[in-house]
Structure 1
Amino acid sequence: MGNEWQDKRKNEHFYKKAKKEGYRSRAAYKLKQLDGKYNLLKTGDIVVDLGSAPGGWIQVAREKVDEKGFVLGVDLDNIEKFNYENVINLQIDITEPETGEIIRKKLPNSPSVILSDASPDISGNWEVDHARSIELSRAALNLAEKLLERRGNILIKVFQGEFFPELLKDVGSLFDFCKSSKPRASRKESAEIYIIGKGYKTD
């Protein structure tokens, strides 16, 4: 009971903080915390944010890349437009084979960072939800292999479960540094965890 109460208080804290500071979602603090720990984003980066609705991560990424960078938000749902010349949104399915080429055409150059906070619609069947989460995570990794610049970074959300260790291993084979982490802004009972990859190793 105590843990549930503390978790609820934490959720309310980040929700109110997001409203007060103008972020579209409390998920913004997950990216802030992970970037603060692993230095994923910097001024001038070209960033692709997958599963980006309603746009909290886009806001954080734009703050970090500043006017010199570029942020492309991608989601199946419509994302309300931002008033920045260097931020655009795409309403598209990241699992479709043509998505990589569509994204490439919208970017000024190869992305230096790919973020994915994509999450499946929760069915209540854990095995199904985990499998769908893995599918989205692998779609993000596949797009990174097609688009990411050499030495680039990736951050992927995934639900922990049977197929998580294999995904972590595959990310590790493509990046110089690989680690999984759960930010403080995540709910304690949530199965979500984030995989960080730094230093993409192109052929």
Structure 2
Amino acid sequence: MGKTPGGKNTSGRGQRDLKVKVKSARGRKLSSTRWLQRQLNDPYVKRAQAEGYRGRAAYKILELDDKFRFLVPGARVVDLGCAPGGWLQVAVKRVNALGERQGKAVGRLLGIDLQEVEPIAGAEIHQLDFMADDADAQVKAWLGGRADVVMSDMAAASSGHKQTDHLRIMSLCEAAAHFAFDVLDEGGTFVAKVLAGGAEGDLQKLLKQKFTKVANVKPPASRADSSEKFVVATGFRG
């Protein structure tokens, strides 16, 4: 018997999904209308609004951490391309950044983004280009040492051309991986979004050289019609 993120039963005779339909408006593209309709009917979007997360992407990192357990109390975490902040909201609780879980180690969180991000209690957020020459040194200075986790949900702006978009996001992911090599502590974890499409082989090969285990996962919160998946590389060799 299937359930939505909100816990409601989605199967059974005599039942029918009640979907919000959006009428096309003058001056609005059909693709925009479809996107709006999908948002209004997405159970993860509704759940994020109800639970105070800044976006449905929060559930992707929740599901990945439930499986791999890298956001542990006391962990030092760097979130690349952190806007709008949903991943940081999840990490604050799990690494005990606010010290609310008595008897547990207190973690550190750094959010990095090119744009300004609204503050999040328990996270330190900076405007920074992580590909700048001294970015790794700056991050380690802010963190007071090396990181246990580097995570990234970054995606390049869509061009509308599938192959071009795939190459762009893979290039961004490879840059994030090299940044992780510079700031991760031995035994650390790298988590990043990639797109299936044929150009990820070089990244997989590189990660397998640098980490003891590399897994590719499509969490339930990732839309079924999306080619995105996540690579979770654990046990950084240093």
Judge same fold: TM > 0.5, yes or no.
yes
Post-superposition Cα deviations, 1:6-31, rounded to whole Å, max 9, x if no partner, equal: xx489610011011111111100000
Give structure 1 stretches of 5+ with no counterpart.
none
Instruction: Check the 8 A contact 2:153/2:193 in 1, yes or no.
Output: yes
Q: Which of residues 147, 153, 178 is equivalent to 1:142?
A: 178
Instruction: Check the 8 A contact 2:71/2:95 in 1, yes or no.
Output: yes
Paired letter, 1:71: L
In 2, Cα distance between equivalents of 1:99 and 1:126: 30
Match of 2:95 in 1: 65
Q: Give structure 1 regions of 4+ aligned residues with deviation exceeding 6 angstroms.
A: none
In 2, Cα distance between equivalents of 1:27 and 1:123: 21
Q: Which has the larger radius of gyration?
A: 2
Match of 1:172 in 2: 208
> Which structure is higher in RCO with an 8 Å CA cutoff and minimum separation 6?
1
SS in 1 for 2:216: strand
In 2, Cα distance between equivalents of 1:10 and 1:198: 36
Post-superposition Cα deviations, 1:56-80, rounded to whole Å, max 9, x if no partner, equal: 0001111111030011011112110
Identity %: 35
Give structure 2 stretches of 5+ with no counterpart.
1-18, 20-37, 100-105
SS in 2 for 1:149: strand
Match of 1:79 in 2: 117
Paired letter, 1:91: Q
In 1, Cα distance between equivalents of 2:132 and 2:227: 26
1:95 aligns with 2:125: no
In 2, Cα distance between equivalents of 1:11 and 1:107: 40
Match of 2:74 in 1: 44
How is 1:89-128 mapped onto 2 (pairs within 5 angstroms)?
A: 89-128=125-164
- How many equivalent residue pairs? 195
Instruction: Check the 8 A contact 2:39/2:45 in 1, yes or no.
Output: no
Instruction: Check the 8 A contact 2:191/2:230 in 1, yes or no.
Output: yes
